[in-house]
Amino acid sequence: MQLFYAPGLVGDFYTLTEEESVHCVKVLRVRKGDILTMTDGCGTRIVAEVVESDRKATSVHVLERHAGAAPLGYELIVACAPTKNIDRFEWFVEKAVEVGVTAIVPICCQNSERRVVKQERLAKIAVSAMKQSLKYTLPVVEPMCDFADFVKRDFAVTAGAGIGRDDIVDTQLFIAHCDPSEDKRLLRDAVSRGSRVVITIGPEGDFSAAEVEMAHSVGFASVSLGESRLRTETAALAAVMTVLLKN
């Protein structure tokens, strides 16, 4: 099955973006009368009939709307310092969306070697991964923010950019770092099922001692991802997988 992204779809008629239209018509050879499966990125599966097949603006008539697959039984917000080689961070964004995440927040830390990201490109990667994995809800990819600003948010009220769920009341805050002087629980032992999980992953040079202390002061607990020394993007994906498997 091919899944198309139709953001902001309202009413019974919709025109696909030029990018989606090109893929629809030029690559898949879709013609008038064919049936498409789409999502608005907000959890809805949409069945529509093509009424005009055009490489720049394919039009469809909505036939059915259904609630998509059940949402994740948890919320997961991953704040990760982008890697110096941006390809590695983009790989993480793709895989995290495929596995299951609520929001991804690039953070700028004291030891960050990369302090700028192209948020629009990361968002496009997230859309592609959502369609590839046949998910109907698009995770939020936020603009880059400072570590201090991120950890001081009130996560009990909202997750990421206003995407909190009323049915999740338990919020767990974690910071994963490599300082061997601190006795840390494994993330897999610390995570509770069905909770809102916020985890921060530092840059190649790890979090500074001051950043770890700052996180502790606002309720973040230190955790370990195991004995192996992991690359930043590997650690971030390991955290996503750990939360998934606990739920």
Check residues 67 and 186 and name the one with the higher pLDDT: 186
Q: Indicate whether 164 pLDDT > 90.
A: no
Q: Rounded distance, CA 84 to CA 89, Å?
A: 9
Amino acid at the residue 129: A
Pick the CATH number of 75-246 from 3.40.1280.10, 3.40.309.10, 3.40.50.360, 3.20.20.105: 3.40.1280.10
Domain positions in the chain: 3-67, 75-246
pLDDT digits (tens, 9 = 90+) for 206-241: 999 999 999 999 999 999 999 999 999 999 999 999
Overall average pLDDT of the 162-189 stretch: 86
Determine which of 45-59, 62-76, 102-116, 127-141 has the lowest per-residue pLDDT on average: 62-76
3-67 matches 75-246 in fold: no
Structure tokens at 74: 């948890």
Q: Indicate whether 162 pLDDT > 50.
A: no
pLDDT for 112: 97
Q: Indicate whether 30 pLDDT > 60.
A: yes
Determine which of 36-40, 50-54, 65-69, 73-77 has the lowest per-residue pLDDT on average: 65-69
| Mean pLDDT, rounded, of the chain | 93
pLDDT digits (tens, 9 = 90+) for 232-244: 999 999 999 999 9
Q: Could you tell me how many residues make up the chain?
A: 247
Q: Indicate whether 159 pLDDT > 60.
A: no
Structure tokens at 161: 């950019």
pLDDT for 157: 64
3-state secondary structure the chain: CCEEECCCCCCCEEECCHHHHHHHHHHCCCCCCCEEEEECCECEEEEEEEEECCCCCCEEEEEEEEECCCCCCCEEEEEECCCCCHHHHHHHHHHHHHHCCCEEEEEECCCCCCCCCCHHHHHHHHHHHHHHCCCCECCEECCCEEHHHHHCCCCCCCCCCCCCCCCCCCEEEEEECCCCCCCCEEHHHHCCCCCEEEEEECCCCCCCHHHHHHHHHCCCEEEECCCCCCCHHHHHHHHHHHHHHHC
pLDDT for 163: 56
Q: What percent of the chain has pLDDT over 70?
A: 96
Assigned CATH topology for domain 3-67: Ribosomal Protein L25; Chain P (2.40.240)
